[in-house]
């Protein structure tokens, strides 16, 4: 949920505005999960989401698609995009 919320945004020019964008996305996730901002940030949102958003690379997630019918049976498009992004990111780090 945080990936989708942040991927659609342009990265803010100032630190204050960037923090506002991140907090709004975290608050949206927290509301859906009925949890606090702190718990969502530390336990539910992968730290790479924040890193890639700040570097401007998270927007690439929106371009990822899957033709796998098997994946589409079990996951929605948002989940498939995030899964592919995490796999690419871990492969690049290895």
Q: Which pair of tokens denotes residue 82?
A: 């995030």
pLDDT tens string 62-74: 888 777 888 888 8
Q: What is the pLDDT of residue 35?
A: 94
pLDDT value at residue 52: 93
Environment class of residue 81 by beta-carbon count within 10 Å: exposed (0-12), middle (13-18) or buried (19+)?
A: buried
Is the separation of the CB atoms in 32 and 5 below 8 Å? Answer: no
Q: 2-93: what CATH class?
A: mainly alpha
Q: Quote the DSSP letter at residue 40.
A: I
Each domain of the chain, given as residue ranges in start order, spans: 2-93
Mean pLDDT of 43-48: 93
Does residue 45 have a pLDDT over 90? yes
Q: What is the pLDDT of residues 16-28, one digit of tens each?
A: 999 999 999 999 9
């Amino acid at each position: 949920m945080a990936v989708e919320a942040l991927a659609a945004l342009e990265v803010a020019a100032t630190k204050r505005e960037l923090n506002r964008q991140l907090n709004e996305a975290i608050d949206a996730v927290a509301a859906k999960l009925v949890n606090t901002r702190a718990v969502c940030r530390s336990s539910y949102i992968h730290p790479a989401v924040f890193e890639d958003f700040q570097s401007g690379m998270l927007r690439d997630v929106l371009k990822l698609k899957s033709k796998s019918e098997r994946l589409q049976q079990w996951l929605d498009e948002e989940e498939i995009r995030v899964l592919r992004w995490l796999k690419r990111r871990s492969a690049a780090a290895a």
